[in-house]
Structure 1
Amino acid sequence: MDLFDIDETARISELATLIKKYQDSYYNGEGEISDAEFDKLWDELKALDPSNPVLQRVGADSGNFAKIRHIMPMGSQEKAANPQAFLAWAKTHAYDEYLVEYKLDGASLELQYSHGELLRAVTRGDGTIGDDITANARKMQGVKAALYDSDNNKIDFTGAVRGEVIMTHTVHQKFYSDKANCRNAANGLMKRKDGSGSENLCLMTYDALATEGTSPFKDEEEKINWLQKCGFKTSPLKICKNPDEVIEYRAEVMEIRKGLDYDIDGLVIKERRIDLEDASRARPDRQIAFKFSLEEAVSTLREVEWSESGATYTPVAIFDEVQLNGTTVQRASLANPDTMRSLGVKIGSRLVVVKRGEIIPKIESVLNEEPGQVTSAIVFPKKCAVCGSELVDEGSRLYCPNKNCDKRVLHQLQKWVGLVDIRDFGDTLLRELFKNKEVASISDIYKLTAEQLVPYFLNEESIENQKNSLGAKKVFESIQNHRRISLAVFVAAFDIEGIGETMVQKLIDAGFNSLEKLLAASEEQIASVYGFAEITAKIFVEGLAENKEEMLSLTQSGTIQLEEIAGGALEGKSFCFTGELKTMKRADAEAMVKKAGGSCKSSVTKDLTYLVTNDTESGSSKNQKAAKFGIPIINEEEFLKLF
């Protein structure tokens, strides 16, 4: 089933059910999944159905304890899963300062005080009412039965103190290693009816509210200082001047958190002033949880390798191993010289490595150097390792300019054989023919005879006995069967950097539907086509000029016949296929369209002519988008009638 065809309504219902289930198990001390996994479900539901009631729901405790109303509402925070999401929030929340604290990964608890004496300890519950676990809380480290300052003077405070019940890694390893993680173990212990094990838990605080008299603090920083004065444990407070400093600090904390004895899963960002109205909302807007992700890590660059592919030298970062999405990662592309320069990367730099749903990791940013940090400049290769030519650094790429460089020529031959799909022509055979100078260009491939190929399949004794080789014959016939190809494949197979069949097809769809039109196109004309930019257009036009002579030689001599595409029945029409077809494979349907002069798209865009699906009444995202743009949705039978 096509990924885009998932019924969104069913998926929304499934997500809502899962979120409710995991919320309830979490708040009852039996958490089943990690925060990161829960956040993925939450973010997906938010993207599909932002107003879903489940997103406003907090949780529900069991009926094992007396129910108590909170003094301070315990809503859920807005979340930013990555720097881009945080910057989008910060754009509408411009503060003079950003106060940043650790987001503790434990279970929320409210301590209610009257004139400095602890009355109750209440769990988060549904955000308004929670369970009274006072007896258990009194055993916890960090919970104050009465409030005194450092001089042992009683503090007259009536109101609430909010914190997070945590279990340290040391305690978890020593007593509760059978539990999945510290958070789940803490959640279960704090709700035991007999209170056993609560002495192994610790409360770290971060919020307070006075309900009588004058507030003992005027802003968020003073609040943390007051909590410390009362003897409560707090996490570090960092004051950042701007959003970029927050992102930098987040990366630093990502690097050191593995050394902490307790779990944190992000940062909480607030403004300096205390906003009681905002804090009373189910989901406060003036603060945000800037989460860590399984898809990000901080590491140190140890060396840079230069990957050679065709003409291009691509820098690859080698860094200390990190875990991303459950896999061990040690390498990531640095793309090109310009990217390296803009990042300011050096050997010894601390890197933020990301893998957000991508197969290939990449370097997102470089952290500022710390005092004493040892770094050194990255050395760029100067000469081609094969032909010795001076490499050209254009910023967007570092490459060998010698068209006749053996490495470049062989790579082009490999690209041609692979893309044209001459299946029996193996890479080992191609390399041997190239080494013996029997194949030095694409044209040479089509000059090969079966007799020439025999020695590559039979030794001298075998040749004497049987003269012919079935293997040589198969390769020869395969070459002859691949003389008629599409224009898109023909151009892409010349191995112009960054130009594949899909990119060439975009140009064909834009009206450059012959070799002559492509060869005559200017950089400006190519750059105007969707999917091309100035740099790509420049590389493409230069690549065509470099290969023009052989392209024309192949086509004008009749060695290669380009499939006719102009004037077809579907010229100017575009199609997007979704779901399964009954009478053919999708690839065959797309080939029919291209042969008739039409084009195919992988997604629904405003300029699409038809969406083809056998489920025209589906509520899939593609169907909805097509309906929104007024694009006809046709079934397979109607599609075939077009031919």
Structure 2
Amino acid sequence: MKIIEKRIKKLIKKLRQWEYAYYLKNESETSDEEYDKTLQELRQLEFEYPCLITENSPTKFLGKILENNFRQVYHRAPMLSLNSVMNKSQLLLFNDRIEYKLRDNNQNKSIIYCCELKIDGVAISLLYKSGKLLKAATRGDGKIGEDVTKNVRVVSSIPECLRKNDGMQLPYLLEIRGEIFISKLCFLKLNQKILKSGNKPFSNARNAASGSLRQLNPNITASRSLMFYCYGISYYVGADELPNSHWDRLQLCLKLGIPINDHIQLVNGVDKVLKYYDHITYIRSNLKYDIDGIVVKVDNCVFQKKLGYGTRAPHWAIAYKFPAESKLTQLNDIIFKVGRTGLITPIVYIKPIVINNVVIKKVSMHNVNEIRRFNLMFGDTVLVQRSGDVIPKIVKVILSKRTNDMKVITLPQFCPVCGTLLITSNCRSSVLRCPAKLICLAQRKSMLKHFVSRKAMNIHGMGEKVINQLVDKNLVFSPVDFFYLNRENLLFNLDGYGVKSVEKLLRSIDLAKHTTLANFIYALGIPNVGESVANSLAVKYKTIEKLISADFQSLSTLQYVGDSIAFTIYSFFKDPINLKNIKDLINPDIGIRWILNN
């Protein structure tokens, strides 16, 4: 039983980490297939061992994944996710369950389904009062979302006021749900603009839509050409009764001036659903926006109520996802990148291929164990898949294509940047790591970039190019050196920086001294400590001094923290070099001032 309990905890930790990255950081750390597979394994274990089900299980609801920049909004009706299927047999099983549960109501007739496109964007809830837009909120954790009303008001396809038709009374309250997204063309133009400014482009259209919607400046959101389609009504108070059909409710939204997708279809029976899926698969490449599947909903709203909801997803709807596209290509070269914590990550360079309109030239592997698992050789023919239409990965090596003159890829023994002998940080996984820390130039630069990043100390203008110059010219070695920079050494050493630019950068450094404890903890770059863990540490310990003196047992009881992360945190604060860096940073001469966590 202990082994099963340990496995369940590990699955929950994985799923929460992926959810946090996807919904808050706009990053996909895994494919949809892997996420669904992991969630299904957790469901199966909880079914077999109900005594081990926890209240915070991802099978029950999404985790608390809100950020502090936006005011919280409680949804009038829970904003749920969708369960997913990946093939025909799974869809047929879904239909069988629906028909069985409705056998007494539907008199053995085929189920009428409303089929919609699963647009790759950001779910949004819009509340109208007496025909005027009152509030807009993101999904958040399903119960509480983030107030993005100001940004939503600048999305041109979202009406500020509902349209009044003859003989129709505007509802007193109308809460609708829909998707905000960006077209393929606008996404391409946006990334081109970002690249010209020297910043990192968005990896996919969904991230671009999410990042644009959650800007603190609505003018930036307005410039991103976001679009919106409604996919349902979640709350209604009005003189007229709502139609009993999901399709008819969408048509009502259209009459009120709320846009719906042109490809929505009402079909009779699961066979017609499969035909709809095949049709959408055929036209997918010609659509002006990205989709990753279709959504299948029972159309009859009385039936929907009878089928009910889980705490995570409705029982009357399913997402039928497209399979990940894959292509064959050739492995040309490999480099070993040194990460912020010293982890050695293989970057495989391949003959360029195009998958879903994205040119793929390289594939980042999780760690060196992937090289061992595939026994990769230079010149290998590999099958590359863009998992979840986001992350490229090698899924297979075509062994029949190998020749006798091909060479095996050998793993490095020494750090490719500083030459330090690499160590195995975990005897079970054999992950390679450079132990040199700040002595290693790659780790030093990565650590400094992390320290000044927006979610950490938030020093505006201190980008990669500036940090590289400051490090290369020995002006910055550790984080504390940022706060001793002055006008003269910046003007003399930064290429292309004039007096105004330097003064602006120095103001940003000074403003960064006014920070939260959570941001400061996150900025320290403790391995495996993300924003949520940093926030939990700040809430529990209140001061950096109390956190430094915390014992292992106390650390391991925190939310999002297991024994492994607790040990990492405990060890971090026992390292003399880390303690010296922290002591230097909180020295009164620097002048860091704490503000309350939002």
TM-score category of the 2 structures, normalised to the smaller one: 0.3 to 0.5
Structure with max Cα Rg: 1
TM-score w.r.t. length of structure 1: 0.43
